[in-house]
A and B are shown apart, each in its own frame.
Chain A
């Protein structure tokens, strides 16, 4: 990096800077500005309309003593961890299988990616039918002779999160597969040749050589999947509506219900601020890490 540039660095490359102004303004006003507004109002007792009557941390105290919020956080954690691991694992496995120069690859790719073309609402309704005990999976298995078979996750508070997970992965794994497949295709053919010459088995090549080379692709997938996890809302609304009881509630639904249904903006803002904090807690270390790496290079 040259430190002895012309004195007015601000005007260096000014056309590009001018072109970026709308984007910068949007980021400042819409993203940062509105987020700050929300954070400020989360310290007020706003009900249906925003009001600047500060009540300190009262909304947060109430939030963290609400069982429904605790259940929501727990659900999101379970769903998040399992969904991230399983989506990556299944996506990678499918990508590797597709990578075997099989016939009709285009066809398989389309089929695998197809669920992603459906909205979460449709996905939720489809899985509601699949998991309905009277004409879904349970009915089919019982029809095959296993009359004692019981599988009703939508009405079992302990299993309902698995139903969400199944539907979520079914919908999202296709995209991961396709992105990872593109990553696999980007690996230099010479790497494979070298591995073969050295007599390394294919599976070892995938895990110990190709996998580490695909870090950036995995990073993309992780970001996409994580964003999907944090905003998890519509699938829950379509599949379970948070039930049975409050067993499948998630934070985003809490925010929506309190802001609009229960007319308590302060409480909704406090909950959404906590969600923002969670996102920042993941993004900031990640960004610092990336920044640090760039500096070193």
Chain B
């Protein structure tokens, strides 16, 4: 934060020297895309924005994850010092800011450019819509329902790489025998709840997932399926015993080394495999929905545009909204980041086997809304705390299940 205020101070100093009006509007874009692949993707976006428009991209990267960056962004918007544009995950993270009238209405740009026709799946645009007005521009799709497997680890244990959760459970004794950790699981709440939610859609299926998180039906929450999912989570706790991992990329690294067999993590894990020079299909395997029901949640990132008093900045905001959803930026940005594009009408050639699987799932329409779209941050946070506690203690599956039902039912 200090960095940006310093930068703004310098920008202010520069403005007093330059004659006013001589330059086109600057647009400060804040985001938390700071890892290698992410930064490259942002650069692509900035390049295309400056090429296609007369405005200047001012990069406002905030190091750390979204949980570090979001409070800074929110406090700047609430505090009356809005940036030109900012990243949020699409869904309900920014809903209250929209309701409070702090976000720019993009409906006109969206209608003029026909967003509704090419944005696929349509749920992406719905997540940006409130009372029929559009408030954000979706930029990419990330899905968390993937189980990654290390072929080297399975080979060392003399078993076939698991293609689903049951096979992993069956292979676990052989893996343990060979000194290999069956499941690499980071102990942070968002990772443990990611596993839970992947099981809800992978074991329970899409309808079940919606009954649990959208309709929040008591019957579904108390069903045998849900009970079984918590039992499976207890098995996962067993399988990950001894891993002592916290960050997700450390866990992915165990797969790359071949000292752990599987990890349930979002498709961003592919960036780590790619960086290590591994090939999808031969070095590592990917299984959507833990190899069960093949549904992916179409979460991801969207750009929001805080309301601004400067008309020039507002123009620049509309221009950026247009660029983000354009085919050129979609191809360049998502190829660099390893995420899926939000347009159904463009062709990503030469994508690897795993991304291909993702695209096919998307094309088949096997999508579900992400947790961010269905639950408030408050409820999501409580589920994270519960699963973190579950993995870090010997809490019984039954007790945890009961508390889970309470948490989900208390969602407003």
Q: Which positions in A face B, CB cutoff 8 Å?
A: 47-49, 66-68, 71, 133, 152, 155, 157, 241-247, 257-258, 260-264, 267
Task: Verify if B187 is at the interface (C-beta below 8 Å from A).
Answer: yes
> A246, B97: Cβ atoms under 8 Å?
no
A-chain residues with CB within 8 Å of residue B188 when the two chains form the complex: 241, 243
> A245, B246: Cβ atoms under 8 Å?
no
A-B contact pairs, 25 of them (CB 8 A): A48-B74, A48-B96, A48-B377, A49-B97, A67-B403, A68-B385, A133-B244, A241-B188, A243-B187, A243-B188, A243-B246, A244-B391, A246-B388, A246-B389, A246-B392, A258-B381, A260-B71, A260-B74, A261-B67, A261-B71, A262-B380, A262-B381, A262-B382, A263-B96, A264-B377
Taking a contact as CB atoms closer than 8 A, the residue among A71, A243, A247, A262 that contacts B378 in the complex is A262
A-chain residues with CB within 8 Å of residue B376 when the two chains form the complex: 47, 263
Interface string of B352-385 (1 = CB under 8 A from A): 0000000000000000000000001110111001
Task: Verify if B20 is at the interface (C-beta below 8 Å from A).
Answer: no
Which residues between 43 and 82 of chain B lie within 8 Å of chain A, taking CB atoms? 67, 70-71, 74, 78
> B392, A247: Cβ atoms under 8 Å?
yes
- Report the minimum CB–CB distance from B249 to chain A (whole Å): 15
> A261, B377: Cβ atoms under 8 Å?
yes
A-chain residues with CB within 8 Å of residue B67 when the two chains form the complex: 261
- Report the minimum CB–CB distance from B302 to chain A (whole Å): 17
A-chain residues with CB within 8 Å of residue B382 when the two chains form the complex: 66, 262
B-chain residues with CB within 8 Å of residue A49 when the two chains form the complex: 78, 96-97, 100
> A67, B78: Cβ atoms under 8 Å?
no
> A47, B378: Cβ atoms under 8 Å?
yes
Task: Verify if B390 is at the interface (C-beta below 8 Å from A).
Answer: yes
A267-B378 contact in complex given A243-B188, A260-B70, A260-B74, C-beta closer than 8 Å: yes
Task: Verify if B393 is at the interface (C-beta below 8 Å from A).
Answer: yes
> B377, A243: Cβ atoms under 8 Å?
no
> B187, A262: Cβ atoms under 8 Å?
no
> A243, B392: Cβ atoms under 8 Å?
yes
B-chain residues with CB within 8 Å of residue A257 when the two chains form the complex: 381
> A244, B377: Cβ atoms under 8 Å?
no
B-chain residues with CB within 8 Å of residue A243 when the two chains form the complex: 187-188, 246, 388, 392
Q: A48-B74, A262-B380 are in contact. List 19 more A-B contacts (CB 8 A).
A: A48-B97, A49-B78, A67-B389, A71-B389, A155-B244, A244-B187, A245-B388, A245-B389, A245-B391, A246-B392, A257-B381, A260-B71, A261-B67, A261-B377, A262-B377, A262-B382, A263-B96, A264-B378, A267-B378
Taking a contact as CB atoms closer than 8 A, the residue among A71, A152, A263 that contacts B244 in the complex is A152
> B378, A244: Cβ atoms under 8 Å?
no
B-chain residues with CB within 8 Å of residue A262 when the two chains form the complex: 377-378, 380-382
Which residues between 179 and 201 of chain B lie within 8 Å of chain A, taking CB atoms? 187-188
A-chain residues with CB within 8 Å of residue B388 when the two chains form the complex: 242-243, 245-246
A-chain residues with CB within 8 Å of residue B393 when the two chains form the complex: 157, 245, 247
A263-B378 contact in complex given A48-B74, A241-B188, A243-B246, C-beta closer than 8 Å: yes
A-chain residues with CB within 8 Å of residue B246 when the two chains form the complex: 241, 243
* Most chain B beta carbons < 10 A, residue from A133, A246, A257: A246
> A47, B392: Cβ atoms under 8 Å?
no
CA distance A264 to B384 in the complex (A): 15
CA distance A258 to B96 in the complex (A): 16
